[in-house]
Amino acid sequence: MAAVKTLGEVAEVVRSKNAGPFIVTFDILFETEEVFEAVRAAGLLSRQAVCGLYGVSDNELLGFDFYPFARAVKFSLRRPVGSGGPRDADVYGAQQHAPLLDLAVLP
């Protein structure tokens, strides 16, 4: 029986960054078309999975799209606190991708 693969194991790049002071955008890039298509076909990387992982409603998830020509997935989330504002622990939004790394994406 094959071991489950996580996004951190199969993606070439998983990153987050500010898309203005109130939105964080996420990029997931795959090295090969085969891996990209396998992840997409497995259906484990989805809007519902991201909402559950980040504890947000579907309305708070801005877009969630697969881009085959770039072997990429992109989505954005509203920031709970504006960048640089009181209680903001990640001014650049650069650490917000960490929960995605352990998401099982290939059975």
pLDDT digits (tens, 9 = 90+) for 60-93: 999 999 999 999 999 999 998 899 999 988 999 9
Going by C-alpha positions, the residue among 32, 28, 34, 33 that lies closest to residue 6 is: 28
Q: What is the pTM of this model?
A: 0.93
Q: How far apart are CA 25 and CA 52, in angstroms?
A: 17
